[in-house]
Chain A
């Protein structure tokens, strides 16, 4: 079976006037279905650039990227949009929720662009996704009525709603405090273990990366280290140990061993 993500000699250059700067200098790696990987590296090392290409939001300058066996560099703008819609869920550092729009409508957004989903099942699926991240009952809240952690969970629900193959999260905990960050990781671990969703996230924080089962390190546009973690930390346990009073977030209840 093909790996879900396969990149070879991937480069990306930005031309600023006459000068060319290299964001990626030849990245090769592959990720199987069901993996949970964290990308680490200094600022400017090319992590976001890599994520954007993997997420079909940008195209590489050279090299090959196969997603699910498909060479996506050959696809049109709208075909890429369709892949983003159905195969990939994005979670951003700054949440990127629509203001003045309820949580449930934010979650429904990707379904508006999926023509196989009717308006009734749109609502059902959005409700389910919100329940999965422990936000049932808050469907009608607008982003400004939600905490940062809750907003990021709405964003995760939005990334889940089309049942994607993988979730790409570029510094998802960057705007959250430690506790909310760990709760987010609990949700990711849950999704990864229970539903087999492939998760690739970027983080600066080694404590966050410790929840992943694989850590990939970038430096100056190259992969310099790629290690598999035998026994990753369990986010539920971490929550129970360090912050027993706060309890476990609803909907992420089955994880502790």
Chain B
């Protein structure tokens, strides 16, 4: 400790003697570190937002769709659109150990009327499990029940947007809405969820029992075969999402009597896959900014090396004196290295402050959320110190290896 403190104190004194030059020198490091900090703050803010939205769609959600998808995500026309059934959904929940819940879903856009108001929305026919799979909550009233599904009861759960448009005066629960001219009793209203990551209004929806949907709302084609439009399943935990996908795939292949060379007639996707595409473009952006950051850190480092070389030359006589009174090679090396590191770390510190300020401004202007990462800040700070060590080493070594006599008589 004692051997380290004097070099740092000496370094700070030497740098303050030339404060303007020191300030200009660290500008490159300041900008580099600020870029890193702002990038990380904005980038992890974006990632955080996407993850929150994914969670809002339903935690550990895995969607099974009929037909197969190409790698690019385009659905092939050759797949059997009616390949998934309610029995498949029941089997997935019952036989796949990693699958907690599976809710069959049929879906259709319909005009809905309540009194004089009408509204076009998405009708989702499903089972009560759907609410758990999608993390939906009932704000007012109650969800429909398994008895409602068995009895094909004409009951409906309304999303907030639908309520707002059909019952502007409020009081939806207990009222009646007409879907395709069939009267349904509103048993409950869903708690609002906001936008999905792809920008859809998740509250513009009406949930009804799947049996009722097939009998009263949908066309006959789906109703006949017990087929469903999709199955929403929930893995038991985030850790077993991949396992659950494997289990579901092999179970469905078996149930659909698919032989080895045959392709799947269904598609299993989890939400991470869906939004990875979005994230990868964010990653390109982050890499670009990281490149800018490393270039300016490099420039800053070269600036530090330059100013340290100037400093060594200017203080040649001082170095000669120090050598004469007993400074060892290591002492001089340490002194100038400390100076470079203090210089670079000061730049790092200012850069962290500037980066956080920049991130705050960006989030204010663009309305993005930012996430401040402690480790990233420490890492940036540490990295700027390393820039000091790396670019300060050559000048420091030059100083330490000076010949004492020549240094003392340097003009």
Contact = CB atoms under 8 A, between A and B. Distances in A.
A65 interface: no
A85 interface: yes
Contacts of B405: 52, 57-58
A196 to B, nearest CB: 21
A113 B408 contact: no
A250 interface: no
Contact of B408 (A96, A109, A110): A96
A115 B3 CA distance: 8
Interface string B292-318: 000000000000000000000000011
Interface residues of A, number: 27
B192 interface: no
A113 B331 contact: yes
Given A52-B405, A96-B408, A112-B6, A81 B318 contact: no
B323 interface: yes
Interface in A128-177: 158, 162
A110 B328 CA distance: 11
Contacts of B330: 78
A98 B326 contact: no
A101 B14 CA distance: 10
A209 to B, nearest CB: 24
B318 A113 contact: no
Contacts of B404: 57-58
A58 B405 CA distance: 7
B325 A110 contact: yes
B238 interface: no
Nearest to B7: A112
Interface of B is mostly: helix
Contacts of B324: 55, 57, 84, 90, 96
Interface in B390-411: 404-405, 408
Nearest to B331: A113
Given A57-B404, A100-B17, A119 B326 contact: no
B328 to A, nearest CB: 4
A118 B2 contact: yes
B354 interface: no
A38 B327 CA distance: 28
B329 A85 contact: no
A58 B329 CA distance: 15
Contacts of B17: 100
Contacts, number: 60
Contact of A77 (B6, B322, B325, B329): B329
A113 B328 CA distance: 8
Contacts of A58: 404-405
A203 interface: no
Contacts of B326: 81-82, 84-86, 110, 113-114, 162
A84 B13 CA distance: 26
A172 to B, nearest CB: 14
A22 interface: no
Contacts of A77: 328-329
Interface string B323-343: 111111111000000000000
Interface string A28-59: 00000000000000000000000010010110
B12 to A, nearest CB: 13
B113 interface: no
Given A52-B405, A112-B6, A90 B328 contact: no
Given A57-B404, A96-B317, A90 B3 contact: no
Contacts of B282: none
B114 interface: no
A116 B181 CA distance: 99
A85 to B, nearest CB: 2
A119 B320 CA distance: 23
Contacts of B328: 77-78, 81-82, 113
A85 B318 CA distance: 16
B325 A90 contact: yes
A109 B322 contact: yes
Interface of A: 52, 55, 57-58, 77-78, 81-82, 84-86, 90, 92, 96, 98, 100-101, 109-110, 112-115, 118-119, 158, 162
Interface of B: 2-3, 6, 13, 17, 317-318, 320-331, 404-405, 408
8 contacts: A55-B324, A57-B404, A57-B405, A84-B326, A90-B325, A112-B327, A113-B327, A113-B328
